[in-house]
């Protein structure tokens, strides 16, 4: 873990003065191109855009980004053959292993896969080649936008002193659920409880594939939230309570609500719901509850609108994701739906609030 932290610090801090850019431009036939060299004079000024400029990368960053390019190239060839995302990742296993040797985690390699497969519309329209996609991934990495894996799951904001924070919730007294990326690699974990007290916690169990973590704590006086044992459908009303951007927005819990937009996540990932509930950095790990007060999911990620605009030309709005509560099966014992009844949002928030905690890790 120290190696990973050192690598991430290297990638974020080693930015020099010389710029390296990639250009998006349209030719006279209306075809879109991505190049690392400036567009020809025939490209109109209105159609030309610099996607990203960055400083001279360090040698360590260059090595890492070459591995990103190799992995992206393998994924791109699989995508062009209409291989599903999960199968493509398996096929590119050698390149993925290289990323892991350099400190990448499973979730980080998956972000590269999401990036590549997110470029599929441009590939199908013949606006970009597989090599062009790999070049884009490489350039995004070199410029610092991709090398530190600024993607779906970069939502544990830093707080004072180099700490980071997220959200969590009691599944039963003494047991807290959160997102694994909130607590992974932490030297210490502190829970800030609704009654103003704080308590230490330790990692009890983890599920890397589903980005889930179960914590044990000595705080046993707070009730657990009931967990729904089956999936819910599109249109189900849901809400979350969490601590987004606590260092800016404050440490009081924040509620946001919406609906289940899809019963599958990014690239039809069956482990996720797509939700219209607005979430921000710091919401990760918080409970997604239905209108009976049962946990149906764990807030996990958001689709970054600026990345989508840069890569597809479309500005996405309020596209967020939660891991389905059914993925907790096997990690939690003795947790059931419980006796629940429909109530107003205010009543449900009042009942669930005491079981939601702010998590600070160092």
pTM of the model: 0.60
Residue 186 lies in a domain: yes
CATH number (domain holding residue 360)? 2.40.10.120
Say whether both 201 and 319 belong to one domain.
yes
What does DSSP assign to residue 355? G
Residue 291 is predicted with a pLDDT of: 95
Q: Which of 32, 53, 50 is nearest to 119 (CA)?
A: 32
Q: pLDDT below 70 — which residues of the chain?
A: 1-38, 41-61, 91-110, 140, 142-162, 304-313, 315, 334-340
Judge if 66 and 173 occupy the same domain: no
- Do 27 and 84 lie in one domain? The reply is yes
- Same domain for 359 and 324? yes
- Asked if 31 and 133 sit in the same domain, the reply is yes
Which residues have C-beta within 8 Å of that of residue 283, sequence separation ≥ 6? 155, 166, 167, 240, 242, 243, 244, 299
Same domain as 173, residue 134? no
Give the separation between CA 90 and CA 233, rounded to whole angstroms. Answer: 30
Q: Write out the E strands in 27-161.
A: 32-35, 49-54
Residue 147, in any domain of the structure? no
The reply to whether 130 and 174 lie within a common domain is no
In this structure, are 28 and 158 located in the same domain? no
Give CA torsion, residues 290, 296, 300, 306, to 10 deg: -50
Please give the pLDDT value at position 312.
65
Q: How many domains does the chain have?
A: 2
pLDDT of residue 15: 25
- SS3 label, residue 107: helix
Question: Quick one: pLDDT at residue 278?
Answer: 92
> Is there a single domain that holds both residue 64 and residue 188?
no
Q: Which of 142, 161, 187 is the last residue of a domain?
A: 142
Comparing CA positions, the residue from 12, 28, 17 lying closest to residue 60 is: 12
**Integer Cα distance of 298 and 325 in angstroms:** 7
Burial bucket for residue 125 (CB in 10 Å: 0-12, 13-18, 19+)? exposed
Q: Which domain holds residue 278?
A: 152-362
pLDDT at position 162, please?
A: 55
């Amino acid at each position: 873990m120290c190696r990973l932290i050192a690598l991430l610090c290297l990638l974020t801090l080693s930015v020099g003065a010389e710029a390296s850019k990639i250009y998006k431009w349209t030719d006279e036939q209306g075809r879109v191109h991505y190049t690392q060299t400036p567009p020809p004079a025939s490209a109109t000024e209105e159609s030309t855009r610099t996607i990203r400029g960055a400083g001279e990368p360090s040698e360590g960053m260059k090595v890492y980004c070459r591995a990103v390019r190799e992995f992206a190239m393998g994924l791109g060839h699989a995508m062009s053959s209409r291989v599903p995302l999960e199968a493509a990742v398996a096929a590119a296993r050698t390149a993925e292993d290289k990323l892991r040797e350099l400190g990448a985690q499973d979730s980080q390699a998956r972000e590269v896969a999401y990036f590549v497969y997110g470029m599929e519309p441009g590939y199908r329209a013949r606006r970009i080649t597989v090599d062009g996609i790999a070049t884009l991934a490489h350039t995004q990495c070199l410029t610092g936008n991709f090398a530190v894996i600024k993607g779906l799951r970069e939502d544990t904001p830093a707080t004072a002193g180099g700490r980071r924070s997220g959200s969590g919730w009691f599944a039963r007294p003494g047991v807290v659920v959160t997102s694994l990326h909130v607590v992974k690699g932490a030297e210490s974990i502190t829970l800030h409880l609704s009654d103003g007290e704080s308590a230490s916690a330790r990692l009890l169990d983890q599920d890397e594939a589903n980005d889930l973590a179960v914590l044990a704590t000595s705080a046993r006086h707070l009730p657990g939230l009931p967990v729904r044992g089956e999936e819910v459908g599109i249109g189900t009303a849901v809400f979350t309570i969490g601590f987004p951007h606590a260092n800016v927005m404050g440490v009081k819990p924040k509620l946001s609500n919406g609906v289940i937009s899809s019963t599958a996540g990014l690239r039809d990932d069956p482990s996720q719901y797509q939700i219209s509930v607005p979430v921000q950095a710091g919401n990760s790990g918080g409970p997604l509850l239905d209108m009976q007060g049962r946990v149906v999911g764990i807030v996990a990620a958001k689709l970054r609108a600026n990345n989508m605009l840069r890569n597809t030309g479309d500005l996405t709005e309020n596209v967020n994701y939660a891991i389905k509560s059914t993925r907790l099966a096997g990690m939690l014992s003795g947790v059931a739906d419980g006796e629940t009844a429909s109530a107003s949002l205010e009543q449900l928030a009042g009942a669930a609030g005491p079981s939601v905690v702010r998590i600070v890790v160092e």
